[in-house]
Amino acid sequence: MNRDRLKKLAGDNRFIPGIYNYCDRWCERCPQTSRCLNFSISEEEFSDPETRDIRNEAFWNKLSGIFGETLELLREGAKKWGIELEALGSIDDIEDIKAKDVAVKNHLLCRAAKRYSEWVEDWFKGRETLFFEMAAAAREGVRLEEAIEVIRWYQYFIAAKVMRAIRGKMEEEEEERCDEFPSDSDGSAKIALIAIDRSIAAWAVIEHYISDCDKEVMDVITFLDGLRLAVEETFPNARSFIRPGFDRIDLNGSS
């Protein structure tokens, strides 16, 4: 995709600015794909099955081309504002980024979210065959299959968004950000909370079907609920964050 095409798409007012920043990346289930610039670019650029296969060289060549054109657009925009992007990456900046990476990775919430993703992986090992057999036999088997799909989809997503929220909070506090604008860290925390909510509901479905694993499943649910409470306490405004395209703005004060 060349720069002219990217500019044309970016200027199309059918797209909601920033809608892709606070979504769960589950495009197949998203009602807003027609309003999402990222989705449109992906559909246009990766229509060939070979370019959709992450193991195929065509995928990485296509992705590299998009990144290259995007970087050139950023450079063009920065130049108009008198900003030299290459001059921003000093040694001190690089060291600061590395220090923040370590701090985020070691943060209690990030470690807990990562622990959950590992817990899920360990728990599912050796059980998936059983789950699919039960789903085929159960009267409401589709619910079980969907529950497994939900848990697996958000398994690593939760940790990624919690880490982004924590990093954003650190940077906002460092910059003494004004409360006039919505906080990116609150937006990231909100989608993490939504993923946790959905995962807890999915685990409840698992618990309904697999009685001999009641305690193990309840331990997972309890852990997730504790993580949810900790995220809500760390980001008290996250639930009220209005995600572009997803959350309705209520003029009476609720969303």
Burial class (CB in 10 A: 0-12, 13-18, 19+), 58: middle
Question: What span, in angstroms and rounded, lies between the C-alpha atoms of 179 and 201?
Answer: 33
Side chain identity at 121, as an amino acid letter?
E
Q: Using only the alpha carbons of the chain, give its radius of gyration.
A: 21
Token digits of residue 74: 């950023």
* pLDDT single digits (tens) 112-148: 999 999 999 988 886 766 555 555 545 445 688 888 8
Predicted structure pTM score = 0.77
Long-range contacts from 103-106, C-beta under 8 angstroms, 24+ separation:
103/170, 104/163, 104/166, 104/167, 104/170, 105/163
The predicted structure's pLDDT at residue 252: 46
What are the residue boundaries of the structural domains of the chain, listed by start? 3-88, 91-234
Name 112's Cβ contacts closer than 8 Å, sequence gap at least 6: 223, 226, 227, 230
Are 162 and 192 in contact, with CB atoms under 8 Å apart? yes
Are 255 and 249 in contact, with CB atoms under 8 Å apart? yes
HSE toward the beta carbon, residue 185, CA cutoff 13 A: 19
Name 50's Cβ contacts closer than 8 Å, sequence gap at least 6: 56, 58, 59
* pLDDT single digits (tens) 155-193: 999 999 999 999 999 988 887 666 667 899 999 999 999
Predicted confidence band of residue 63 (pLDDT cuts 50, 70, 90): low
* pLDDT single digits (tens) 108-119: 999 999 999 999
Are 224 and 200 in contact, with CB atoms under 8 Å apart? yes
